[in-house]
Each structure stands twice: as C-alpha cells, then as structure tokens.
Amino acid sequence: MTVEQQDCVALDQFPVGMRVLAVDDDQTCLRILESLLHRCQYHVTTTNQAQKALELLRENKNKFDLVISDVDMPDMDGFKLLELVGLEMDLPVIMLSAHSDPKYVMKGVTHGACDYLLKPVRIEELKNIWQHVVRKNRGSNNGDKKDGSGNEGVANSDQNNGRANRKRKDQYNEDEDEERDDNDDPSSQKKPRVVWTVELHKKFVAAVNQLGFEKAMPKKILDLMNVEKLTRENVASHLQKFRLYLKRISGNQQAIMANSDLHFLQMSNGLDGFHHRPIPVGTGQFHGGAAAAGMRPFPPNGILGRLNTPSGMSGVRNLSSSPSSGMFLQNPTDLGKFHHVSSLPLNHIDGGNILQGLPMPLEFDQLQTNNNKSIIAGNSMAFPSFPTQQQSSLPNNNNHLVLEGHPQAPPSAFPGHQINKRLEHWSNAVSSSSSTLPPPGQNSNSLISHQFDASSSSYSIPFCDSTIPLNPALDHTNPRAFYRATDMDSSANVQPGVYYDSLQMRKSGNYGPTTDAMLSSNNPKEGFTVGQQKLQSGFMGGEAGSLDDIVNSTMKQEQSQGDLSEGDLGYGGFSSLRTCI
C-alpha cells in the first residue's frame, strides 16, 4: 500500500499556495484564468492541451491539488480528462465552460466534477475553490464524503432504488456512526492518500468475503487484512465505495457477479464519492470460500448478461489460479460456481492504480433471488477499459464460453439496466431488459478482442442506480456550485446596475443542486460505458492471462485511452460511472 504524503508547504498555508493546474485551449481565457488564480494566491500551472495536462499530472501525482479544465478542447473532451484525472489521480476537478446549458452541467456532475463554472469566470468564484480540495481529502479519509453527507447520499440512493440494499446500507451506516472518528481539523487537514492497489483490494475483498458481505464491518475487515498503516477510515471509505459500486453495477436488485478487482479499484480510487461495496465473491480466493462456504450462492447468472452457457461455465475456472477476480460468467444453474471469465493478472500494478474498481460480485442474496437475471461477466464490466496489448495472450476460454452463453442466456429481466443504455452492445442487452444478448461484434471498441466483444455484449451492468448522488458533497454541501450569481453583490469589482450582464449570464446557468432524481435519471444513460470500454479493451475474455498483465498493458495504454474509446462507449460511459456513485 502506498501512502502519499501531501506537500507540507502547501499544507501550512493552505489555501494560499494551493497548486492548480489550469487547462484551456483558448489562450485568452487561459491567460485570464491564470491571472485570476494568481490573484487568489494560488500556485498556477497552465497548459492549453489536455494531453499535456495529463502528462503533467501523471508525472507526479502529488504535484497538484486541483485541476480546472475547460470542457471543449480540441485534443480531448474535457469530460474525458475529468474522468481520467479522477480515476488516476483522484484530484478534484472543476469544469469550466461557456456552456450554461444544464445538460452540460449535469454531465460535469455525472462525470465527477467537483464544480462547474461558467465563463467568464469571476474571481469571487475562484476564491473558494480550495474547498473542493479540503472536501476531497476529508472524504477519502473519513469513509464518507463529508460527515453525514456520504451517508445521506447513500441513504437517498438506497431509498430511491435499492430495497435489497437498504438493510446493508443501514447496517453500514450504523457501523459507520459507531465507529467513525471525527476529523478534528477539517479545514486544513490533508491526510496522506491511500492507494488501493490490486493486492490491497484483494485482501480487502478476501476479508469481506470471509466476514460475509452483509456483515462486513470496517474494523473487522481491517483486522483481517492486517495491513500496516491502513486505518479503519480507509477501509470504511473503501467499503462504502465498494458497496455503492457493486450496487451501481448490479442495479437495485441484482448483484454483479463481476469479479473484477481491477475495475472496482480503478473506479474507486479515482472517483469521487465512490462507495465501496463489499463483494462477496470475487477473487479466486474468495471463490473457493464462497462456493464452499455457504455464502449465499452467487447465482452464476449473476448480474449482468448471462454470458456463460451452462455447459461451458460451470465450475470454477482459474479461480484459484488467477489472482484477480475475473469476471464471473455465471451459469444460472451453478450456484456458487464462478467462471472466472477474465483472469486479468493482478500482479502487475502500474503505480498501484490500475486495478481499481474491479467489481466484485455483489449481493449474493440478490443474485439468489434473481436467477433470471443475467449476469454480466464481471470483469468485462468491471475493468476499466484497458487497452491491453496482451489481449491476444489471454486464453479465450471464457470468451468462448461467453459467446456460447449469449444465445442461451435466459431472457431474464434485467432491472435497473437502464443504466447501461449508453453502452452499445451492452446497452442493447440492458435496455431490452432481457438477457438476450446482442450478437457479439457490436463492440464499438476496436481494441476489444472479438471474443471480448461477445462477452461484453452480454455484459450488462446496471451501473448506476443513480439515486446516489454523484458527489454528495457537491450535491448537498456545495449548492454554491450552482449558484454563481450569489457573489455578485459582494464584489467591489462589480459595477452596479449596468454591467451585470455577465453576471446575469452566469445566473442563468445556475441550477439547484443536482437532485438525486436527476442523478438517477441520468445515470442509466451514462452507464458504465467508459468503464465498460475499458473492460472491453482490457478484458481478454476469459481466463486469459493474468489480470495483472491486462491491467498492466491497459495502464500502459492509458495514453491511448483517448483513442481507445470513442463515442459513447468511451469516456462518456466511464464518466457516468463516476457519477453513479
């Protein structure tokens, strides 16, 4: 586990000296923004290229505290950048745009932006952006985004969507309330970030599995994991993310059989408000335990499309051998058996951030009750799109199975799949609300191996249940984000009367805090496309190689992620992934 130390100098004088990276292809706006930020006493780095920004960020993850990015940039969509930054670096990102259209703002929210500012930016708005840094740090260290708000968010989402989840959530919330240590010094506190590597996540999952998904409590998980320097808060936060992630993936009523540590980790580490879900079944280790132990059998049908045919998928394959949780393509009849669809190598962790967000199979009970629900190969869903070069190296067994599974997948209703509508093939499966899998080959991701396509097409991840506010902080705690006009009067810079035009303009772009309803309604659309995309590219379909290899190659190809996914399946979906939380 790596713990990153914050820059002590910045800490001391925070928010003075906060390090901001400003990205805007328009040099006029960039120059103005730079000056405004300097005026706020921040330390500013500017670039007019999104790619360059990513390089700067990747070069040293601790070099910046906050990113402000324009939405419309020629070399990369601002939302894509937003997602990447959130995933890889877990930095707060503020979107900037001349678009006051609510749907853009919404997109910003769903993609995980901390805030959305309208051009022309005023200095008053920039003076408070440091709050996002604080908020993020508190959230990642406390287990919920902001004291109370995370739970609130979870509560809301659950109330709206997840009947089955409520119990668990309540339990979790109670757990959190009992055990949570309050952050005594919130305003200037910057705790080192815990990076949830694949190994760490595996341990986490194993611990959760051991304890039982519903019974897993941060303290116990922590004890079981026995990792130095990991705090209960870290675990609690991760657990919350995990649960929400699983919930999101599976929809309200289903659990994902996905056994993708990678994916989950990818998502959770990067995403705001990403709540963990304990995944009962995930890794090979787990698998053995789960299948054997009476953990609620994880209906192979799993969550998302039924990829595996009964014949092919039965039994656990490679579970013991693959360190990472591959996807589970479940055979409806083989409860408790997991077909390890993708054994992405977990061993290689590139920077420790690769294997994030591997979805672990969710709620067993859900799975159990929904035998007809199609399960999507977890890995395909879970893994963020890793354009892996090793695709060919992965055995196609699972893919094969997956493919076979398609036609045979029972047309099970797939509640909550609306989330994935955006996914091309996946969305077909989903929106049709049947487990009938669309024929393979609809994969829009050229990087995805053919086999993978097949599986992914059947892979429907009810990704965002969406009642969960994307960013509870954003939602509840920062209504200001949407009310830009409030500062107008206070500014001495503002001429009274005549010159409020620009302010008026800004006002028009204000919306109330995004409601859960909004979030939920949009999340399904967003689906998990990017994640899917990534999964697709990274998913070798089946047992293939090791998760690590795939992750590795995926990470190597991060750069090309921009190329990797285009259109809806690309980052759009990914971003929604974030927001779903």
Partner 1 sequence: MELVQMQKSLQDYTKSLFLDGVLDSQFLQLQQLQDESNPDFVSQVVTLFFQDSDRILNDLSLSLDQQVVDFKKVDPHVHQLKGSSSSIGAQRVKNACVVFRSFCEQQNVEGCHRCLQQVKKEYYLVKNRLETLFKLEQQIVASGGMIPAMELGF
Q: How far is the CB of 527 from partner 1 (least distance, A)?
A: 24
Q: How far is the CB of 492 from partner 1 (least distance, A)?
A: 8
Q: How far is the CB of 491 from partner 1 (least distance, A)?
A: 9
CA-CA distance, 152 to 136, in Å (whole number)?
Answer: 16
- The two most distant CA atoms of the chain are separated, in Å, by 75
Q: Which is nearer to partner 1, 54 or 488 (CB)?
A: 488
Q: Pattern of binders to partner 1 over 118-157, x per CB under 8 A?
A: -xxxxx----------------------------------
Answer whether 249's CB lies under 8 Å from 419's CB.
Answer: no
Q: Which of 128, 371, 433, 502 binds partner 1 (CB under 8 A)?
A: 502
- Token pair for 7: 């820059």
Answer whether 484's CB lies under 8 Å from 509's CB.
Answer: yes
Q: Which is nearer to partner 1, 320 or 495 (CB)?
A: 495
CA-CA distance, 106 to 579, in Å (whole number)?
Answer: 10
**Residue 101, C-beta contacts closer than 8 angstroms, at least 6 positions apart:** 509
Q: Which of 320, 495, 512, 517 binds partner 1 (CB under 8 A)?
A: 495
Q: Which of residues 370-409 bind partner 1 (CB under 8 A)?
A: none
- DSSP 3-state of 118: strand
Question: Rounded to 5 degrees, what are φ and ψ at 576?
Answer: -65, -30
Q: Which is nearer to partner 1, 97 or 554 (CB)?
A: 97
Q: Pattern of binders to partner 1 over 33-72, x per CB under 8 A?
A: --xx-xx------------------------------x-x
Q: Which is nearer to partner 1, 36 or 362 (CB)?
A: 36
Q: How far is the CB of 536 from partner 1 (least distance, A)?
A: 27
Q: Which of residues 505-534 bind partner 1 (CB under 8 A)?
A: 505
Q: Which is nearer to partner 1, 28 or 226 (CB)?
A: 28
Q: Which is nearer to partner 1, 413 or 494 (CB)?
A: 494
Q: Which of 59, 103, 184, 496 binds partner 1 (CB under 8 A)?
A: 496
Q: Pattern of binders to partner 1 over 80-119, x per CB under 8 A?
A: -----------------xxx-------------------x
- DSSP 3-state of 47: strand
Kind plus residue range of the DSSP H or E element containing 43:
strand 43-47
Q: Which is nearer to partner 1, 56 or 505 (CB)?
A: 505
Q: How far is the CB of 39 from partner 1 (least distance, A)?
A: 6
Q: Which of residues 180-239 bind partner 1 (CB under 8 A)?
A: none
Answer whether 452's CB lies under 8 Å from 401's CB.
Answer: no
Q: Which of 163, 181, 489, 499 binds partner 1 (CB under 8 A)?
A: 499
Q: Pattern of binders to partner 1 over 3-32, x per CB under 8 A?
A: ----------------------xxxxx-xx
Kind plus residue range of the DSSP H or E element containing 116:
strand 115-118
CA-CA distance, 350 to 199, in Å (whole number)?
Answer: 12
Q: How far is the CB of 501 from partner 1 (least distance, A)?
A: 5
Q: Which of residues 289-328 bind partner 1 (CB under 8 A)?
A: none
Q: Which of 52, 62, 166, 500 binds partner 1 (CB under 8 A)?
A: 500
Peptide bond into 120 cis (omega under 30): yes
Distances (CA, A) of 358 to 411, 444, 481: 26, 21, 31
Q: What is the DSSP letter of 207?
A: H
DSSP bridge partners of 23: 47, 69
Q: Which is nearer to partner 1, 8 or 492 (CB)?
A: 492
Closest C-alpha to 518, from 181, 102, 144 = 102
Binding residues for partner 1, rule CB under 8 A, total 34
Q: Which is nearer to partner 1, 119 or 276 (CB)?
A: 119
Answer whether 275's CB lies under 8 Å from 218's CB.
Answer: no
Distance of CA 71 to the CA centre of its chain: 20
Q: How far is the CB of 20 from partner 1 (least distance, A)?
A: 16
Q: Which is nearer to partner 1, 211 or 494 (CB)?
A: 494
Peptide bond into 15 cis (omega under 30): yes
Q: Which is nearer to partner 1, 8 or 498 (CB)?
A: 498
CA-CA distance, 196 to 201, in Å (whole number)?
Answer: 6
* DSSP per-residue codes, 133-202: HHHHHHHHHHSSSSTTHHHHHHHHHHHHT-HHHHHHHHHHHHHHHHHPPP-S-TTT--PPEEE--HHHHH
Q: Which of 41, 320, 493, 560 binds partner 1 (CB under 8 A)?
A: 493
Answer whether 347's CB lies under 8 Å from 545's CB.
Answer: no
Q: Which of 59, 182, 228, 501 binds partner 1 (CB under 8 A)?
A: 501
Q: How far is the CB of 557 from partner 1 (least distance, A)?
A: 28
Closest C-alpha to 215, from 260, 288, 280, 276 = 280
Q: How far is the CB of 484 from partner 1 (least distance, A)?
A: 13
Distances (CA, A) of 428 to 409, 417, 502: 14, 10, 44
> Where does residue 432 fall: left (phi above 0), alpha (psi -120 to 50 degrees), or beta otherwise?
alpha
CA-CA distance, 296 to 431, in Å (whole number)?
Answer: 28
Q: Which is nearer to partner 1, 74 or 226 (CB)?
A: 74
Cα-atom radius of gyration of the chain, to the nearest Å? 22
Q: How far is the CB of 581 from partner 1 (least distance, A)?
A: 30
Q: How far is the CB of 562 from partner 1 (least distance, A)?
A: 17
Q: Which is nearer to partner 1, 413 or 505 (CB)?
A: 505
Q: Which is nearer to partner 1, 292 or 492 (CB)?
A: 492
Q: How far is the CB of 447 from partner 1 (least distance, A)?
A: 25
Which residues of the chain form contacts with partner 1 (CB under 8 A)? 25-29, 31-32, 35-36, 38-39, 70, 72, 74, 97-99, 119-123, 492-496, 498-503, 505
